[in-house]
Structure 1
C-alpha cells in the first residue's frame, strides 16, 4: 500500500486538493474492479483540524496533523492562491516537514503554483521545475537557482515532480498513476476523467506580456521600442544606438533583465502579435506573417512552433472557429 499525503495549506486552491484525492481513490476502485488489490492510502494532512479556504466559503478537515504522519510515500503540494510571499509565510511550517519526509524516502509533487512552496524547501535547487506560466517571472525572481521550464507540463527529478498551470496538473496525476500501476490503468483513468493523456507542453496557453519586473530603465526603453515597432526589422545595433549603450553591454543587460536575448524578445513579441491575429481575424497565414514583420514563411513557422508548440495553422484552427482553412 502506497501512502499518499495531500497537504492542506492555508489559502490552497480547493480543486488541487480534491482532484488528486478523487483520482487516487478512484484508481483504487478501478484496480479492485479489475480483480487487483487497492494500492493507495490517501489522507489529507494539515497544520490544524480545520482549514478555511476561499475566505471561509469552504472548510476542509484534514485527517492528520503534520506530527501525526510517521511515514509517507508521496506528498502532494496543492496550488496556493493570492500573494505568493504571504502564502509562503503563512504556510512556512510545512517546509521542514516536506524536507524531512523527502530525506526519509518520500517523493514530492507540486501542483501548479504549489511549486512556490516546494521551491521554498530548497529541494529544487539546481533542478528543473514547472509552474503556472503567469507566475513565471515572479518564480524566477524569487528562486533564481532553479531552472524554471514554464513551457513544460511535467518535470521529474530524483523523486520530485512538478506540473504546469491550472488543470494541467491532471497530466501529472495521470503520469503518476501510470508510474505506480501501469499504462492500462492510466489510459482507463484518462478516459474516465476525460483528460487528454500525454500532454507535455503548456506553450500554446502562454501569453507573453513582456518582462518588465526589473529596474533597468535603459532595457525597458528598448523593450518598449520593440513592442511598438515589432513589424519593422529591428537590429541590436539600432537599439544600441537609440539607447546610447554599446552593443555588447546592451545585450548583456537585456539578457540579465529579461532572461531573453534581444533576438528572442523580438521573436516573442512578434509571435504574441501573430497569436492575437489568428484568434481574432480571418487573415490567412501569409497575411499574418507579413503583418508581424516576417517575410520568410519557413522562418515564421519554425519560430511560431518553437514558441507555442503548434503550427500557425493548427493554432488558428484551435482558437478561431470562424477562420477559413487555407
Structure 2
C-alpha cells in the first residue's frame, strides 16, 4: 500500500480472548486487496487496525496497515469465537468501549458470536440482527429485545451491521467494501478471492435444533416421540394424547416450550429428514416427499423452499454427497 495516500476510512478490529483469527487476518487481507483494486481505479485505500484491551482497561492499537498518523476507526468490527461466546462479565468492558465509539459517530459491526458483545451495548434492542444459527437460542434468551433473524447472512442496519456464522466475515467484508469503495471494487475483490457474491442465506446451511431444555416433561416426551417416528402421519390430537393433556392446553404449552406450534415443529422435523435424503440418497424428490409424509409433492416443494430458502433440486445440487446411494 502507498503510505502517502490518505485512506478513505479506517476499520478497527476489536480483539479479545480466543477470538476467531481467520476473520481477523482474513478481513485484514480482504480490505488490503480492496484497497489495491481501488488504487487501480484511481481511488483511495482503506486502513485496518487491530485493537486490544490493556491491563488498565483502556484499548490500544496493536496492528496497523497504514504508516500515517493514527486516527480513529470509522467502523469497529467484533469477530466471533470458536469456543462459545463471551459471558456478560467478559462482554462488559468491550460493550462500554463500543458504546462510546458509537456515540462518537462510528459504525459498529459483528461477525458470528461477536454479536453477543455488540448486543451487550443495548444498541441492538428493538433492531434486526443476526448471529451464527448455532447460537440463536442462547442469544434470544440473553437479548430478547433484539429482533434476531438467523436466516440471513448479513443485516446492514446503517450504523449497526451484523453477520452470521464463521465464514460470513467474507460477506461482511464485501458489504463494507461496497459501502466504502463502491460496487466495482467490491466485485473486483470478490472475483480475486473467488467469493460468490450471489445472495446467500444461513438457512441454506442451518440444521433444525429444537429446544429440549425447557423443563416441560410432557412436551419433551412428545418431542422424543415425534423424533422416533420422524413426525409421519401425526395430528395435534395424537400429540396431545401422548402428553396426556387437553388439546388446547397442549398447544399452548408446546408453543411456550419450543417456540413453535406443533404443526410448525412437525414441518421442521420432516424437512430436516428430507434434507438428509437429498444429501445422501438418489431418491427422486417425489419419493422423498412421500417418505417424509407429504402426498402432495407440490406442497412439499413449496414448504421446503420456504424453510430452507432453496428448492429441493437446488439444495441437492449444492449439498449432495458424492457417495449418495440410489433408492
Same fold (TM over 0.5): yes
Give the stretch that moved more between structures: 261-270 or 25-34: 25-34
Given that 2:278 and 2:315 are in contact with CA atoms closer than 8 Å, whether structure 1 keeps it comes out as yes
Shift of 1:324: 9.2
Matching residue of 1:31: 38
Matching residue of 2:83: 82
Q: CA RMSD in A?
A: 2.3
Encode CA deviations 1:69-121: one digit per residue, 9 max, x unaligned: 974310000012324244x5334311101011112211111011111111111
Encode CA deviations 1:127-160: one digit per residue, 9 max, x unaligned: 1111111121221222222121111001122410
Given that 2:86 and 2:117 are in contact with CA atoms closer than 8 Å, whether structure 1 keeps it comes out as no
Matching residue of 1:42: 48
Out of 17, 24, 43, which is 1:17 matched to?
A: 24
Shift of 1:21: 1.4
State the alpha-carbon separation in 1 of the partners of residues 117 and 86 from structure 2. Answer: 10
Given that 2:12 and 2:77 are in contact with CA atoms closer than 8 Å, whether structure 1 keeps it comes out as yes
How has the CA–CA distance of structure 1 residues 174 and 3 changed in structure 2, closer, same or farther, with 3 Å as cutoff? same
Scaled by the length of structure 2, the TM-score of the pair is 0.88
Matching residue of 2:4: none
Matching residue of 1:251: 251
Matching residue of 1:233: 233
Encode CA deviations 1:211-262: one digit per residue, 9 max, x unaligned: 2131111221121122122352212122122212222222222222211111
Given that 1:317 and 1:323 are in contact with CA atoms closer than 8 Å, whether structure 2 keeps it comes out as no
Name structure 2 gaps, 5 residues minimum.
1-7, 56-60, 65-69
State the alpha-carbon separation in 2 of the partners of residues 44 and 76 from structure 1. Answer: 10
Q: How many residue pairs are counted as aligned between the two chains?
A: 310
Name structure 1 gaps, 5 residues minimum.
50-60
State the alpha-carbon separation in 2 of the partners of residues 111 and 154 from structure 1. Answer: 9
Shift of 1:188: 0.6
Instruction: Report the 3-state secondary structure (helix = DSSP H, G, I; strand = E; otherwise coil) of the residue aligned with 1:277.
Output: helix
Matching residue of 1:55: none
Give the stretch that moved more between structures: 104-113 or 309-318: 309-318
Give the stretch that moved more between structures: 256-265 or 88-97: 88-97
Given that 2:290 and 2:297 are in contact with CA atoms closer than 8 Å, whether structure 1 keeps it comes out as no
Encode CA deviations 1:185-231: one digit per residue, 9 max, x unaligned: 11111101111104231212111132213111122112112212235
Shift of 1:287: 1.2
Given that 2:91 and 2:120 are in contact with CA atoms closer than 8 Å, whether structure 1 keeps it comes out as no
